[in-house]
Amino acid sequence: MSEWELVVGLEVHARLQTRTKAFCSCENRFGAEPNSLVCPVCLGLPGALPVLSSEVVRLAARMALATRCTVHERSIFSRKNYFYPDLPKGYQITQFDRPIATGGELEIFFEGDTKRIGVTRIHIEEDAGKLIHDPRIAGDDSSLVDLNRSGVPLIEIVSEPDMRSSAEAVAYLSRIRQILMYTAVCDGNMEEGSLRCDANISVHRPGEPFGTRAEIKNLNSFRFLAKAIEFEKTRQISILEGGGSIHQETRLFDVQSGETRSMRSKEEAHDYRYFPEPDLLPLEITGAFIDEVSRSLPSLPGHRVDRYLKEWHLDRETAETLVADRALADFFESAVRQSQSAPVQIANWVRNDILGVLNEKGASIFDLAITPDSLAALVDLIEAGTISGKIAKDVFAEMVEKGGDPERIIDERGLSQISDEDQIRDVASRIIADHPGQVEAYRGGKTALLGFFIGQVMKKTGGRANPELARSILESLLTGE
């Protein structure tokens, strides 16, 4: 029998970066004093009426177009009814059978490969409040409710069940996050809950119909997503191999144990009694609005990768690394435009050296003093042979910390490369005279000692000798030509 195959579909919730909440003028801001950002509408007081913010529609449409969805001219808000202490109205306003957008797709990159993943739908909904159970805050026998989040706008992005491994699911979530951040639809902050995801997971034998899925709720990091999928895959396979069957259910991922456990089965599933929201008109969007949103989209990570591969001849791995962060990609592109050197040279510096510093410091490119034009100048100086690659690293370190023009730094510190033959020959002759033993060994056949002599020349010149020149001069002196 063939191996089990994993099937994953994700539902991603993204908090929209709007000024106000979805249906009232309360501020949409994380981390404020509890219950300080509330009004009769988001408190669910009787008689208060919702008014849809146009910013919400604009951002939802941006994400929809960025994932190649069709944005519908008419969509409907519905009530999803349930009781929970963080939901004062007793229902959530969401979109149900007529979402704002459907039928999109995007490309993911994982383990050296690319793949297309379908986006089933995107709909607009409001967030609920937050319950605080922490006894240090709420006391031992009570819970508190903070309604600042009540009515904050979200979009839910539902994928097709197109992913076949946890690595693919992580790559998909990561691409969604990149696009949300490029388009400024969502800040992508997973610690603050701006981005959370539910994973639908099943297993089957290839060629057979999909298996029954379990839905793991509220995963708020890439690591937890991967762990939950791996755990769930193993759990389902062992049940099926033991002759059991999988029941459709909602499960929770326990961060401490790394396991998932049942929350509710399909039989106990909520009946949300969806019906069209009577306080809101159907949402109608004009073609002109869609065109306007479409024109305002920035160049997206997928497009940039294509361009880097085709026009600048980078490898895909490097291109993907550079586009992961829009600010870094902008920095890279700006440096390429200002440099005479090949884009690959610039890419290597950004990917290895700049990213190295950023990771080490946990900083963003805006925190570094180095600018795109100064990096371009540095790479050009290496290409022109004015400084060696090794010295460039020292100059780079200073540029990162203090900024400044590489040529000035090189001048001030006397770092430019020595390409004067006589000067190098002088140094080389002295070294040869100082090391008769090594010279004899070299002449006796141990030609690998050439490296030793080159090293000595570099040391004497503070790394400034042109290494190729040093090599050829040493070779000719040592062989006595």
Q: Which parts of 2-21 interact with ligand ADP (CB under 6 A)? A: 7-11
Count of residues interacting with ligand ADP (CB under 6 A): 15
The residue among 9 and 406 lying less far from ligand ADP, judged by its C-beta, is 9
The residue among 33 and 271 lying less far from ligand ADP, judged by its C-beta, is 271
The residue among 201 and 365 lying less far from ligand ADP, judged by its C-beta, is 201
Q: Which parts of 162-201 interact with ligand ADP (CB under 6 A)? A: 200-201
Pick from ligand ADP, Zn ion, none: which does 202 bind, CB < 5 to 8 A by kind? ligand ADP
By CB under 6 A, residue 263 contacts ligand ADP: no
Which is nearest to 401 in space by CA: 431, 444, 363?
363
Q: How many CB atoms lie within 10 A of CB 158?
A: 18
The residue among 215 and 353 lying less far from ligand ADP, judged by its C-beta, is 215
CB contact at 8 A, 297 and 62: yes
Pick from ligand ADP, Zn ion, none: which does 260 bind, CB < 5 to 8 A by kind? none
CB contact at 8 A, 14 and 198: no
Give the separation between CA 113 and CA 115, rounded to whole angstroms: 7
Single residue of 6, 24, 170, 375 touching Zn ion by CB under 5 A: 24
288 burial via Cβ count (<10 Å: 0-12, 13-18, 19+): exposed
Give the separation between CA 4 and CA 151, rounded to whole angstroms: 42
Name the minimum Å distance from CB 75 to Zn ion: 23
Question: CB under 6 A: which stretch of 100-108, 153-161, 430-438, 451-459 binds ligand ADP?
Answer: 153-161
Q: How are strands ordered across the β-sheet holding 249-254?
A: 70-71, 101-110, 113-126, 153-159, 5-15, 195-204, 214-219, 249-254, 259-265
Residue type, 25: S
Pick from Zn ion, ligand ADP, none: which does 84 bind, CB < 5 to 8 A by kind? none
Pick from Zn ion, ligand ADP, none: which does 26 bind, CB < 5 to 8 A by kind? Zn ion
The residue among 271 and 481 lying less far from ligand ADP, judged by its C-beta, is 271
Q: Which parts of 204-243 interact with ligand ADP (CB under 6 A)? A: 210-211, 213
Single residue of 14, 26, 197, 392 touching Zn ion by CB under 5 A: 26
Q: Which parts of 395-414 interact with Zn ion (CB under 5 A)? A: none
Helices (H), 349-449: 355-361, 372-383, 389-402, 406-413, 421-434, 436-443
By CB under 6 A, residue 159 contacts ligand ADP: yes
Give the separation between CA 295 and CA 340, rounded to whole angstroms: 31
Spatial CB neighbours of 63, under 8 Å, sequence gap ≥ 6: 14, 122, 155, 157, 179, 180, 183, 185, 186
Give the separation between CA 125 and CA 455, rounded to whole angstroms: 66
The residue among 37 and 378 lying less far from Zn ion, judged by its C-beta, is 37
- The residue ranges that bind ligand ADP (CB under 6 A) are 7-11, 158-161, 200-202, 210-211, 213
